[in-house]
Chain A
Amino acid sequence: MTDPTDASGADGADGAFGAGGPARPGADDATGAPGAGGAARPGADGATGASGAPRLSARAAHLAYDRRTVSAGVDVDVRDGSFTVIVGPNACGKSTLLRAFARLLKPRSGAVLLDGQDLAGLAPKQAARRIGLLPQTSTAPDGITVAELVARGRYPHQGLFRQWTDADRAAVDDALAQTDLVDLADRDVDELSGGQRQRVWVATALAQQTEVLLLDEPTTYLDVAHQYDLLDLFARLHAGGTTVVAVLHDLAQAARYATDLVVMRDGDVVATGAPADVLTEELVERVFDLPCVVVPDPVTGTPLVVPRRR
């Protein structure tokens, strides 16, 4: 949050959406209960546009790698227009759930639904025009420029033999603009910093022009300022109408940016709901084995988990 441009951008989005939309029932009250509340919450206000129907859902989905079962039968809904953050201890199955949403992992049984339709029944390119993913690991070919890498996100919109259309060019330009990469478009990706490179991968996913954006630990390996730059970017995308689903490690960040939290442990969903309702001392201790106090974030009023001395 050190950068004035980004902060103002997020504020602008908040203003636009916060003013017009109705208040989120319960959320502010619950935040208010432990203390302050009422302060600006980046991203959270976008949820006011969310309707009730789930965009993505898992129905008794059995998720497993080879012989190792991660989730025996997970049920969860991602509301349309929400900024859903999946949290939980290591190896709780949160990335696995995200991979199932992204079609990288096919459920053994049960199903993953997009707008009520089985994802497995969609052609890969068809699905890729509706769901975008920022993968945890990806490789940029040697010598590729920013614009070229972003253009590869247009693949699901192209035919058997590559055809480059005006729509492709517009999508790439738009993705570069949204991620603040226009000036770096002709630079080599290998020459960029970690934060810039991660923005290039975000832009590549944006070029897909999907209604749903999945983020697998998007802030890992970035310094704290770049983490918030990126989260503000996601908040802006969310405010613009994209349904965002992210796996995050940092509970404070999750509480700040999420409209909906999904808390997982041992492959099961333990709790879902608004961060202020879900993130209690009792739940954090039960799920993360971490004795703590939950206080309101002095800046945003969202729940902030502070570990106790052990």
Chain B
Amino acid sequence: MSGAPGSATTTAAPARDAGATRARPGGRGGRHPRLRRRTALAVLCAVALVVAVVALGLGDYPLSPLEVLRALAGGDGFASTIVLQWRLPRVLAALVLGAALGVSGALFQSLTRNPLGSPDVIGFATGSYTGAIVVIVAGGTSWAATAGGALVGGIATALVVYLLAHRRGVAGLRLIVVGIAVTALLHSVNSWLLLRARTEVALTANFWGSGSLALVGWQQLVPALVALAVLAPLVAAVAPPLRQLELGDDAARAHGTRVEGARLAVVVVGVALTAVVTAVSGPIAFVALAAPQLARRVTRSAGVPLVASAVTAGVLLLVADVVAQRIGTSPVPVGLVTLVLGGGYLLTLLARETRRSR
């Protein structure tokens, strides 16, 4: 606007031309942003389906995509058993649990207005692990007991972080900083618990703690699906006020948002999503951190998108799980794969954020 001091009537035309020919990397502002986003989302969904079909065909008894589709439709006996009974729960778990992590990450990143604000960085996953270890050490062996411990641990951690970060409302950065501090504290608690435990108990806890989908069957998946089905409409309900919070507290309030109530609701829903996932699979790092930012770039959405983050995270976790099953001579927990991939991502993210804030 340095050239023309006039109003938009004088500047709009040249500005639009510039928009049409602009080649700035990451440049946006096409004529139909909504259509472009829908297309990107449709492509993401298609990718998810393709990856899922391929993943269902992989294994000791390989199946072609066509055979997988036939098996899904209830075709010949043996292939159907393999696909529906053995492989589908795991693939579905990767997609759905990944999606839940993605939404949870998107909620927290949007709430804190910071790409670092994800449930694993803020400490809820670590808290879930603490809860699970306590249960395992105390002699709880069933899957339900461990899951329950994880659920309670995650929610309790969230409560502590929220209360510690609360000073005339919860601000984004304070939530992250308090969360990181609590995570560090919980890590040492976890180590202490494992060191005191008997070796085989520590091994069980350790395996659970690295996050794996290897032991997920229909029996574990169904309760999680039910829980997520209950949470889905709640996500839809907190989305509009969340979009208002993005505008800043004053604008949100001026538009009639109950800012503190909306923020608490977003935190509760986000924590519940992470807690359900952690209860089923153990803590899976970085999916919630990376997927929303990836989705935002792919769809070029306004703010952090919820649906696109869900699909992206589902694909990410599924791919990571496929890699985890095939990476070495014996399968490794998927949590380790996401840890390695996500760790690299976190480093670049931190490097970029610090460069920007300088």
Contact surface of A with B, Cβ cutoff 8 Å = 2-3, 5-6, 66, 102-104, 123-129, 131-133, 135-145, 148-149, 152-153, 155-156, 158, 160-162, 180-181, 183-184, 186-188, 191, 193-196, 199, 201, 204-205, 208, 223, 225-226, 229
Q: Does B240 contact A124, Cβ atoms closer than 8 Å?
A: no
Determine if B303 is an interface residue (Cβ-Cβ < 8 Å). yes
Q: Tell me the complex Cα distance, A290–B300, Å.
A: 52
Cα separation A160 to B187 with both chains bound (whole Å): 40
How many B residues, CB 8 Å from partner? Answer: 44
Among the listed B8, B29, B240, B253, which residue makes an inter-chain contact with A145, where contact means beta carbons less than 8 Å apart? B29
Point out the residues of chain B lying under 8 angstroms from A223, CB to CB: 5
> How distant is the Cα of A113 from the Cα of B354 in the complex, in angstroms?
46
Q: Is B9 a contact partner of A139 (Cβ separation < 8 A)? A: no
Shortest A120–chain B CB gap in Å is: 13
- Render B295-323 as a binary contact track against A, CB cut-off 8 A, 1 for contact: 01000111110000000000000000000
Q: A159's closest neighbor in chain B, by CB?
A: B240
**Residues on B with beta carbons closer than 8 Å to the beta carbon of A125:** 256
> Cβ of A144: which chain B residues have Cβ within 8 Å of it?
302-303
Closest CB of chain B to A161's CB: distance in Å? Answer: 6
Pick the contact of A104: B32, B239, B254, B300 (CB < 8 A).
B254
Residues of B close to A191: CB separation below 8 A: 19, 29
- B113 contacts across to A, CB distance below 8 A: 139
Total number of residue pairs linking A and B with CB closer than 8 Å? 146
Cβ–Cβ contact A181 & B254, under 8 A: no
A-B contact list, 20 entries, CB within 8 Å: A2-B5, A3-B5, A3-B7, A128-B254, A128-B256, A138-B247, A138-B250, A139-B246, A139-B248, A141-B246, A145-B302, A161-B240, A183-B8, A183-B13, A183-B15, A183-B16, A184-B12, A187-B29, A199-B8, A229-B6
- Docked Cα-Cα span, A306 to B142, in Å, equals 82
B174 located at the interface, meaning its Cβ lies under 8 Å from any Cβ of chain A in the complex? no
* Across the A-B interface, the 3 shortest Cβ-Cβ residue pairs: A128-B256, A193-B1, A141-B303
* Contacting residue for A180 out of B7, B19, B31, B33, CB 8 A: B7
B70 close to chain A: CB less than 8 A: no
Task: Name the B residues within 8 Å of A229 (CB-CB).
Answer: 6-7
> B239 contacts A226, CB within 8 Å?
no
User: Does A102 lie within 8 Å of B254, measured CB to CB?
Assistant: yes
User: Which of B7, B30, B254 is in CB contact (< 8 Å) with A135?
Assistant: B254
**Chain B 243-266 residues near chain A, CB threshold 8 A:** 243-244, 246-248, 250-251, 253-258
Asked if B232 is at the interface of the complex by the 8 Å CB criterion, the answer is: no
Choose among A131, A135, A141, A153 the residue that contacts B302 (Cβ–Cβ < 8 A).
Answer: A141
